[in-house]
Structure 1
Amino acid sequence: METFDIVKLASYRENNRIEAKAAKGGLPRSMWETYSAFANTYGGVILLGVKEREDGTFETVGLTPVEAEHLRQDFWNTVSNRSKVSAVLPIESEVEVLEADGGMVVAIHVPRAPREERPVYINGDLFAGTYRRRGEGDYRCTRQEISAMLRDQGFETMDSKVLDDLTVADFNMDTVRAYRNRFRTVRQGSSWTGLDDERFLRAIGAAAVSREDGRLHPTFGGLLMFGNDYDIVRECPQFFLDYQETLDPAIRWTDRVHSGDGMWSGNLFDFFFRVNRKLAESLKTPFKLDGIFRVDDTPMHKAVREALANCLFNADYHGVRGVVVRRTPDKLVFENPGDIRTGIEQMRLGGVSDPRNGLVMKMFSLIDVGERAGTGVPDVFATWANAGLPEPRIEENFGEADRTILTLMLEADAKPDNNEQISDDYEQINSSNEQISDNNEQLNGLNEQITERQRVILHFVEKSPSATYDDMARAVGVSSATVRRDAEILIGCGLLKRVGSRKAGHWEVRGEKNHDIR
């Protein structure tokens, strides 16, 4: 029987990854809403036999071993009933009965559901029984959110659909010629360069033979890549591409490029190359020669291209608000409709490529734009770290309009001006990853002797009381999640105290002589 540390329990708060339920009279109905919400958002832990005090901390309610085991059995019986829950996500080891001071606790680890199983819903009702997590609460998803999850379920990517009501003659032929010129330069010697336009477009995936009439028609990916805005919007009414440049605060936009203005095609290919040139101007280019020729394509230029391409590959073009790329003096921001299919953590780690628009990715990769191996975003992070710039920030916003946002700061001392709640939620996501993966070890960590890394953290915050978790992480060379865990341990040991709010407060190092941190 594992032991549950009640001291550690008292330091927890309900957030977007932890939910406490007293469950004294059996499994609460609201638990299944939380199960659905965790499965459709980031995953999380449901604690049964625990209640929340008025100050937000947790305490056990005194479940007996028999009651706890009964709850565990009831959970498995209910979650296995498809009329109650649409997907069984936890495995046996992820539903634990733990011993705590004052009673037993049942900990149910609910993983984020694979996209093939989302939305996870309850009571056999897709539209009334699908939930997501926001802050400390569960909310019922809108039809728009549910539709977005259903679009993501398929094994084929969104852009593979064949459009029987269009022909390749509807493509913007100036865009096709520009693409072929780049392909010819990059793929010298390819047998495809000698094909006529129709065969070439079929070879790269921009067109396919329809099963309905046996004729060649554009794919949705081909339309996005080579079509005209008016045809794309007819197929996808919410489609919109927008580049906003604000270099002078007195002027709303110092430059803007957007689809639908009638001045250019409005397709992805032309948007990418128009915007990439403008973004390149925001980067400092060191003087470097390759023989007698100047080299202007730095790792940062390549990273920005990757960020822009990744935004276009992963956008849900049926979602609202479209793709937005913003340039200001101190940052670049890439926003696309749709959540992250692999999740923030996997996107950051790389190694798994699961784009919404696989044909668009293929067509760009054939002209050496974009990384198909799933390492594009990690390369962006590595490039920014090597340049000594703040770590790129990935945000995933759920709600009426799911959005993925990547922010690249251009100045070493710049601070992202994100909403404080988003910042709090993102820190909770990072810290909870390690809490969930090795929960029991953390729960028993308070009584261990502090480590050398924790001593370094104490020295650092003593000299820099206003330090953030990111500052500490850079100082000791570990992740922000690890530093946050260390800080919680130090707070629990009485060595560290947070005074004031998360945003405006500061750290105090306490009792250092008694604990020999020097």
Structure 2
Amino acid sequence: MSQNISQLSDIDLLKESAEVECKLASGRDGQGAVPDDMWQTYSAFANTSGGKIFLGVRERKGKLSLEGIKTPAKLVKNIWDSLNNPQKVSGNLLKESDVSIECIQGNQIICINVPRSSRHDRPVYINGNPLTGSYIRRYEADQKCSSEQVQRMLAERQDARDNKILQGFGVDDVDDESLRIYRQMFKDAKPQGHPFLEQDDLGFLRSIKAWRKDRQTGEEGLTLAGLLMFGTWDALQEALPNYFLDYQEKGEGEARWIDRVFCDGSWTGNIFDFYRKIYRKLTSDLKLSFTLKDGQRVDQNPAHEAIREALVNTLAHADYLSDSQILVEKYPDYIRFRNPGLMRVPVKDAIAGGESICRNPAIHQMFLNIGLSEKAGSGVPKIYSNCRLQNWQPPNLFERYDIEQTILELRMVNLIPEEITAKLVSLFGDKYQRLNEIKKLILQTAITENWFTHERICLLTSANGREVTLALSSLVSNGMLVGSGEHKSKVYHLADEVVPTPENESGQKIEFVASPKEGQLSLTLDLAPDITPDITPDIAKANEDLWKQLVGISEPIRKNSGRPSKADVRQTIVNLCMEANGKYMKVRHFSELLDIKPDTIRKNYLTPMVKEQILQLAYPTATRHPDQGYAIKE
């Protein structure tokens, strides 16, 4: 395996990651048996980000205990027999080194390292049926895939998604002006001339793979790439009913957008025109230093290149057949790019570079033709390296498996201004200067974010989970960091930083949205005329006014006759928290206001939004506390 397990604390450390599962595996006779539900975990890890399974370790209420397995060799043979039985598991992803027997304190346990499967093997399923036996990992649980999720995994086995010929679509569905501008940019990018430029429009479209002829069937026509790049709005709507591009610019502390560009029929709506409109808006307020190259002023810097590549990546890697949409959000200090579809390679491999499996290679090549993209496999590393050159925080690239989206955030904040470095040197002296890069990053995060989790550091660095775990453990051992809480609720902070808990003074000073009385919880707002004696009329009136505002904000979701979209619910949650103005809201408040079950609110919305740094917890070290509250991340 990739790590040395010599004591229970090694497994305990790894439990900070979501990709670890411990199972007792004692069997009915106590001699040991492979648990049936282990194969669900195998499928879930394989279809998500990979993970590690430990057999012979009991987990109860977050606590681990070492039980051991009396006959581990028998279980290992059973594991290999099942892996090579297509009626049990659809595919064996493991090498011999991925399954090992380890001895800890005289107890033998089995360690299984499950890698992330390639898209050609996905979905990995059990019991012979992909529709009923496919799972994904969501936080700490194995979740059965829906039929739609399985179909999308099967579709992802196709190498190119954008070379499909669209029946009934032709050159009349191409916007003339979009194509004219693209041809001019192609010419500008090829100062020595190019054979493609000598062709008519149809020949040019064919040469750049916007038009294709199937040699086997003789069918020819506009490709999906051609329509997306140059299509008219009417044609795009007809071919792709769920297609939508959205750009929103938001000011400091603003929940609503202050500038927006979206597919409203007033322009073509194709991705080439979207790029040209949005790139200018994303870079309009970037400060340029005066530089010369070959005697000419250069009006581009690493920041421009990072933003350009991020926008092109979003457009070239999106799953346009999904029911989700592309969204680009610009904030004062960061830009978020969101596209439907998961990464085709693991995030860490994309960051390392060299391997690229583009979902829409023809679209990517079209941008490359006019100098707006890097060659395959170097785009994401270019984004990271240019952010380093700008001294920005590392980009945040991650996947949302619950809604199958990829998100890239560019944090346009100077990571290590002089005052932060000076403070760290004053706290730790030469010890700080001798730290490696990941440990310095952790301490810089501690200065800028007050407290953070293991997962947060994983999002800020290309290091794997174990490297992060060891770095955190070392900093705690050396007294440079303090860890509070346990496992998934564990947070890290500097020694002089107090993390709120329900028991300490900092936690008791947290201000919650005051719980309305029973009459107020009725959304008709027929307030009881008598006020509880221990509440003054002024306080009651303040509660009533705030509650009325929250009721009004949530009304479109609550009274939606159909099923509101996740995006609308998430935005409403943000709006409610903004209206609460720094006060924390509880799950039952959201449930009552939105008319959504508490468990659904917590699992599908609040927990993911905390992980995405949109919301913050009142009590980060007690995530399941009954009085937990949520507010906008500061």
Q: TM-score, normalised by structure 1?
A: 0.81
Q: Matched residues in 1 for 2:492 and 2:102: separation? A: 37
Q: Matched residues in 1 for 2:269 and 2:443: separation? A: 51
Measured after TM superposition, the shift of residue 71 of structure 1 is 0.7
Measured after TM superposition, the shift of residue 151 of structure 1 is 1.5
Measured after TM superposition, the shift of residue 194 of structure 1 is 1.0
The count of aligned residue pairs is 459
Q: Which amino acid aligns with 1:20?
A: C
Correspondence list, 1:451-470, <5 A = 453=435, 466=450
| Counterpart check, 1:484 vs 2:469 | yes
Q: Secondary structure at the match of 2:313?
A: helix
Correspondence list, 1:210-289, <5 A = 210-211=214-215, 214=218, 216-247=220-251, 249=253, 252-259=256-263, 261-289=264-292
One of 353, 365, 368 as aligned partner of 1:365:
368
Q: Which residue of structure 2 lines up, in the alignment, with residue 21 of structure 1? A: 23
Q: Secondary structure at the match of 2:130?
A: coil
One of 31, 38, 57 as aligned partner of 1:50:
57
Q: Matched residues in 2 for 1:273 and 1:3: separation? A: 53
Q: Which amino acid aligns with 2:15?
A: R
Q: Which amino acid aligns with 1:69?
A: A
Correspondence list, 1:299-378, <5 A = 299-378=302-381
Q: Matched residues in 2 for 1:193 and 1:171: separation? A: 18
Correspondence list, 1:47-196, <5 A = 47-54=54-61, 56-64=62-70, 67-155=71-159, 157-188=160-191, 189-196=193-200
Measured after TM superposition, the shift of residue 371 of structure 1 is 1.2
Q: Which amino acid aligns with 1:22?
A: L
Q: Secondary structure at the match of 1:128?
A: helix
One of 5, 8, 22 as aligned partner of 1:6:
8
For residues 136-193 of structure 1, give each alpha carbon's deviation from its aligned partner in whole angstroms, at most 9, with x where no partner exists: 11111122222221111113x1001111221122211111111111111112311111
Q: Which amino acid aligns with 2:120?
A: E
Q: Matched residues in 2 for 1:229 and 1:138: separation? A: 41
Measured after TM superposition, the shift of residue 342 of structure 1 is 0.6
Q: Which residue of structure 2 lines up, in the alignment, with residue 420 of structure 1? A: none
Measured after TM superposition, the shift of residue 81 of structure 1 is 0.8
Is the Cα–Cα contact under 8 Å of residues 330 and 410 in structure 1 kept in the other structure? yes
Q: Which residue of structure 2 lines up, in the alignment, with residue 381 of structure 1? A: 384
**Identity within the alignment, %:** 35
Change (3 A) 1:62 1:208: closer
Correspondence list, 1:420-499, <5 A = 453=435, 466=450, 482-489=467-474, 491=476, 497-499=482-484
Q: Matched residues in 2 for 1:78 and 1:361: separation? A: 41
Q: TM-score, normalised by structure 2?
A: 0.67
For residues 460-506 of structure 1, give each alpha carbon's deviation from its aligned partner in whole angstroms, at most 9, with x where no partner exists: 969x7857689x99xxx995853531332565799964246655854
Q: Matched residues in 2 for 1:166 and 1:461: separation? A: 56
Q: Matched residues in 1 for 2:183 and 2:313: separation? A: 22
Q: Which moved more, 1:87-96 or 1:167-176?
A: 167-176
Measured after TM superposition, the shift of residue 97 of structure 1 is 1.0
For residues 268-323 of structure 1, give each alpha carbon's deviation from its aligned partner in whole angstroms, at most 9, with x where no partner exists: 11111111111111321223345775432112111110000001111011123211
Q: Matched residues in 2 for 1:287 and 1:278: separation? A: 21
Q: Matched residues in 2 for 1:226 and 1:478: separation? A: 36
Q: Secondary structure at the match of 1:165?
A: coil
RCO comparison, higher one (Cα < 8 Å, 6+): 1
Q: Matched residues in 2 for 1:331 and 1:457: separation? A: 24
Q: Matched residues in 1 for 2:13 and 2:348: separation? A: 25
| Counterpart check, 1:391 vs 2:361 | no
Correspondence list, 1:191-202, <5 A = 191-202=195-206
Change (3 A) 1:484 1:130: same
For residues 203-257 of structure 1, give each alpha carbon's deviation from its aligned partner in whole angstroms, at most 9, with x where no partner exists: 1100011457635411111111111233223222221111111236558222211
Change (3 A) 1:184 1:33: same
Q: Matched residues in 1 for 2:407 and 2:76: separation? A: 39
Is the Cα–Cα contact under 8 Å of residues 40 and 118 in structure 1 kept in the other structure? yes
Q: Matched residues in 1 for 2:361 and 2:48: separation? A: 23
Q: Which amino acid aligns with 1:105?
A: I
Is the Cα–Cα contact under 8 Å of residues 453 and 492 in structure 2 kept in the other structure? no
Q: Which residue of structure 1 lines up, in the alignment, with residue 606 of structure 2? A: none
Q: Secondary structure at the match of 1:488?
A: helix
For residues 394-442 of structure 1, give each alpha carbon's deviation from its aligned partner in whole angstroms, at most 9, with x where no partner exists: 121011x21111111122269xxxxxxxxxxxxxxxxxxxxxxxxxxxx
Change (3 A) 1:31 1:250: closer
Is the Cα–Cα contact under 8 Å of residues 305 and 386 in structure 2 kept in the other structure? no
Is the Cα–Cα contact under 8 Å of residues 137 and 143 in structure 2 kept in the other structure? yes
Change (3 A) 1:51 1:480: closer
Q: CA RMSD in A?
A: 3.1
Q: Matched residues in 2 for 1:226 and 1:81: separation? A: 49
Q: Which amino acid aligns with 1:32?
A: W
Q: Which moved more, 1:245-254 or 1:306-315?
A: 245-254
One of 390, 407, 410 as aligned partner of 1:408:
410
Measured after TM superposition, the shift of residue 62 of structure 1 is 2.9
Q: Matched residues in 2 for 1:117 and 1:374: separation? A: 21
Is the Cα–Cα contact under 8 Å of residues 499 and 507 in structure 1 kept in the other structure? no
Q: Secondary structure at the match of 1:378?
A: helix
Q: Which amino acid aligns with 1:174?
A: E
Q: Matched residues in 1 for 2:217 and 2:125: separation? A: 38
Is the Cα–Cα contact under 8 Å of residues 318 and 340 in structure 2 kept in the other structure? yes
Q: Matched residues in 2 for 1:27 and 1:178: separation? A: 62
Is the Cα–Cα contact under 8 Å of residues 392 and 413 in structure 2 kept in the other structure? yes
| Counterpart check, 1:37 vs 2:50 | no
Measured after TM superposition, the shift of residue 10 of structure 1 is 4.2
